[in-house]
Structure 1
């Protein structure tokens, strides 16, 4: 583009003529006309916004009976669902453009991202759930997270919408049980819908650490910064083969892509261009399915202060070596011990250690404590249980932990903070975590050598003696802090796998 300040200066050979009174009047009339036109454009702009919202909202496919009422002004958790289904009326040209086949695709939900929006709307966090996460699915035992939607559909009868609603409800229930959060709304998009949205927004800029060439997804990109059209964008978010971390890198790509598209959507180039905005609105609304309670205007008002840099991304915590084979299936193992504190960190809630510290210790006689030996030392759990029994606790049977553990940790079921505090008061320096794996407060002894102490030892250390005192542990006995959620802010300078 030519910059006018780069052009050579032009010096007129004659003096400019003086304006006549008539010319000045014409100029004033012209400026008045322009000012009036701008005012009309502003009025029309406000009307256009109203029309745009109506146009957008009316094009969305709504499904009822999935979630409860919308509560404007409160924190919102919106589940974003993507699956591989192809509409029955897709043309051969569309199949070719999407680099896929006409086999109908799969109803499995290969993309599951929870969008958390705090009450003040100043930020948003995209929390990804790997599709192969090994979870408990209500009514179906343990399985891959992406199967929950299909189980729900297959369990239901009725119309296509009713089966769809049942599938979404089971997926939402599974994620709610997993995270402890309430899912307020959901938005679902199919393979073709994703393509249509990406096509309406135009090329998106991405940066790759390494060149990729994946025949499964069709992704064939060099390393470095590049612009992707809609077809390439679809290949980009679908690739998992050939990436260092497989499906985990694919989840990161989806977060990255959503962040880049959000920045593009929030830019003045989209929002202040009525033609482009109308095209985007039409493509997006006709491509979405969502619950009938999601008030988009209210959500937009809540997010009015959101800037592109305020969008963070995170993935639920996984075990250090997360890949495993169970019943012949390759699955991803979640770090359930770290999950509650992770969710608290993302949503601004209190960690397990903070909640236990603030709780009033329960009377030992009302607390049942189990001890598992993860240290490998002979008689460790028996010795620890004997100490707790002498302090007035109800105790279980000595047991070995299923695996060795480095850090001695007090685990407690949700809501048992007071019981955990009573147990922790006699276990100086132990960590604490909430876990749904145990019925009672459970101590797993670690290789760090920490063991419970009796009443006199605990008193000399400044902790309660087991009498139900609400005094807090001393600094030397304070629960180990839990790590905060590892979130990322993607921008145009970020390169990923």
Structure 2
């Protein structure tokens, strides 16, 4: 009901799903869900790569989408939408006596969408068993969780919510070769792919020659461009309005000696954010990959399982 009151929720799936127990039947890619569809979306737990952990991310994705609808002004500027939302909340949610839910909703307009984040603690084993062998449990390392929370809160206090939510997969890395070295762009593209960046086009530079190797992005402060530049040994980031948001163009010149060059370039040493260092150190095959940190600040929802 709440989803319908807000005009639906925008989500994105990495792969198509069909799971009759929950009623989940969705194509891959971005899509808008109505209320019943959103319910099936958040209920699915079977046939997901990480089981219940992915179901939690589904729920977070819907919450982030709903929060984005409210915070972006699409809701607060429409009296009719506000009225529908109030009616839906009153019929769907148990509220404490005396709590004005709509006053709370109006306060949300003071928030920036990027400051509303949903995160899942690091997990050691998503398919563990209790000591008596009778219950299925999720196992965690309490010290690891404590360190993760401290790091998360610290970086959030520093206004780095967007950095916390960033993952390399959000950036498509296009690599072009501006040298006579055969295979250089392909080798560097492979390095970036191994770091989790989405592989883009690979080829020779058909534009103007550059004086030095560089990473080009729509904005010089683009998080993805900065991360790519760091992984390639500290290349400069150059603003280029022709580059689509969410992608970068790596231009390799004759001065390039970083990873993939075959010239001894090594991965740069960098500090890993505690909020993303879920599973560093020893881990066995039961350790699930980390969950993404989702925010309510983007018009384009992150694709999830």
Higher RCO structure, 1 or 2 (CA under 8 Å, sep 6+):
2
TM-score by length of structure 1 reads: 0.32
Higher helix share: 1
Q: Bigger radius of gyration, 1 or 2?
A: 1
After TM superposition, the score normalised by the length of structure 2 is: 0.50
